[in-house]
Amino acid sequence: MRVGLVINPIAGMGGAVGLKGTDTLEVLREAVRRGARPLAQERTEEALRAASDLHGYDFFTAGGTMGEDVLRRHTSRVTVTYRPAATTSDDDTRAACSAILDAGVDLLMFTGGDGTARDVMDVVDESVPVIGIPSGVKMQSAVFANTPRDAGALLRRTRIENLPAHRAEVMDIDEEEARMGRISGSLHGYMLTPEEPSLMQPYKLVLGGATEEQHKEAIAKYFVDTMLPGTLYILGPGTTVEAVGRRLGISKTLLGVDLVVDRKLLAKDVDENTILEALEAYPEARIVVTPIGAQGFIFGRGNQQISHRVIEKVGIRNVMVIATPIKLRETRTLRVDTGDPELDDEMRGYSKVLIGYAMNQVAPVN
């Protein structure tokens, strides 16, 4: 089995000294000043020991502290595909991943936290399965094993049992916000991981114990706080968008489409033609939708007034999706059926979704 390994040498150094992470050089320097010590290599060794007999693997890695040093203490079957500078950075993580993928691997292991997972995701995406060896301060993502030992066990079982892979979330929180006692988390994308729930940590979107209605109120408050003057807002159906109407103090139709400008109701329960006419008067516009039904449609189910002609005139970049974390967790995949196959294809991929006050999550669109 051909396995890649990338270690972030500084991952987790900020934790013990109370710095919530080491995502910047300034914070790393402060961590060192406070007496922080590297953890990532010893946690990687713990995973390799748990993987047991390493004769069944060919390893591809980066030089020095990014993988080579640890691997050569356990096996001779090591190929170095990238040589980092003496002081490594996130650029080295991405470059190492790229070189390892070019060498051709069946699976990539990496050691770090959520910041490292994001760097790996930037290159790997869903091309090969990954196993995260937890070593960071922030580990909200579902691509990490529960412990380094579990990471090694998962590698062994993947080789022996040929475990299937499934999509797992890559999360991160804002370190500056965390240092001030505020959690600002978002989902940045997905990678594939071997499917073994007992060994992998669950997805950890921070919900803060709020109810569904409290999430809707938080979404509505942020939305209204950030509305642009002179812009036409086309508000689709659904209870989450209805909460925006309540925040605005207007009578929003639950199952219809309403138009708002400067926080005032312009037209209620409109049809396609009315929307198109309004767009002539207000060329700056936003479409606001929420997933309708269990299948997660944001267009083509209950909001056909927002036709492909309307979407094309407003522009895909000006489509805003809002949903509570609980609803989005249940929906998983957003869907579009605008009536225009070319537009549907253009919209497929990923969409940012507002899930709370200043909190966004990325969801796949199919």
Q: Name the band, by pLDDT with cuts 50, 70 and 90, for residue 169.
A: confident
Average of pLDDT values for 183-209?
71
The reported pLDDT for the residue numbered 293 is 61
Tell which wins on pLDDT, 141 or 264. Answer: 264
Is the CB of residue 134 less than 8 Å from the CB of residue 152?
Answer: no
Return the top range by mean pLDDT from 99-103, 116-120, 198-202, 266-270.
99-103
Structure tokens belonging to residue 67? 């993988």
Average of pLDDT values for 6-14?
80
Average of pLDDT values for 183-208?
72
Distance of CA 207 to the CA centre of its chain: 15
Average of pLDDT values for 253-276?
93
Q: Name the band, by pLDDT with cuts 50, 70 and 90, for residue 141.
A: confident
Is the CB of residue 178 less than 8 Å from the CB of residue 20?
Answer: yes
Q: Which residues contact 37 (CB under 8 A, 6 or more apart)?
A: 13
Tell which wins on pLDDT, 299 or 60. Answer: 60
The reported pLDDT for the residue numbered 39 is 82
The reported pLDDT for the residue numbered 16 is 42
Q: What single-letter amino acid sits at 277?
A: E
The reported pLDDT for the residue numbered 33 is 67
Report the C-alpha dihedral over residues 151, 153, 156, 157, rounded to 10 degrees: -110
The reported pLDDT for the residue numbered 6 is 98
Average of pLDDT values for 303-317?
93
**For 62-98, how does the pLDDT look when each residue is reduced to its tens digit (9 = 90+)?**
999 999 999 999 999 999 999 998 888 899 999 999 9
CA–CA gap between residue 207 and residue 212 (Å, rounded):
10
| Domain positions in the chain | 2-194, 212-365
Q: Name the band, by pLDDT with cuts 50, 70 and 90, for residue 134.
A: confident
Residue 291 has, within 13 A of its CA and on its CB side, a CA count of 26
Region label for 35, one of left (φ > 0), alpha (ψ between -120 and 50) or beta (otherwise): left
The reported pLDDT for the residue numbered 366 is 84
2-194 topology per CATH: Rossmann fold (3.40.50)
Is the CB of residue 311 less than 8 Å from the CB of residue 299?
Answer: yes
Q: Name the band, by pLDDT with cuts 50, 70 and 90, for residue 192.
A: very high
Q: What is the mean pLDDT of the chain?
A: 86
Is the CB of residue 258 less than 8 Å from the CB of residue 245?
Answer: yes
pLDDT value at 131 more than 80: yes
pLDDT value at 328 more than 90: no
**For 208-263, how does the pLDDT look when each residue is reduced to its tens digit (9 = 90+)?**
556 788 899 999 999 999 999 999 999 999 899 999 999 999 999 988 899 999 99
SS (H, E, C) the chain: CEEEEEECCCCCCCCCCCCCCCCCHHHHHHHHHCCCCCCHHHHHHHHHHHCCCCCCCEEEEECHHHEHHHHHCCCCCEEEEECCCCCCCHHHHHHHHHHHHHHCCCEEEEEECHHHHHHHHHHHCCCCEEEEEECCCCCCCCCEECCHHHHHHHHHHHHHHCCCEEEEEEEEECHHHHHCCCCCEEEEEEEEEECCCCCECCCCCCCCCCCHHHHHHHHHHHHHHCCCCCCEEEECCCHHHHHHHHHHCCCCCCCCCEEEECCEEEECCCCHHHHHHHHHHCCCEEEEECCECCCCEEECCCCCCCCHHHHHHHCHHHEEEECCHHHHHHHCCEEECCCCHHHHHHHCEEEEEEEECCEEEEEEEC
Structure tokens belonging to residue 174? 């804002």
Is the CB of residue 352 less than 8 Å from the CB of residue 321?
Answer: yes
Q: Quick one: which of 121, 194, 171 has its CA closest to 329? A: 171
Q: Name the band, by pLDDT with cuts 50, 70 and 90, for residue 20.
A: very low
The reported pLDDT for the residue numbered 35 is 63
pLDDT value at 137 more than 70: no
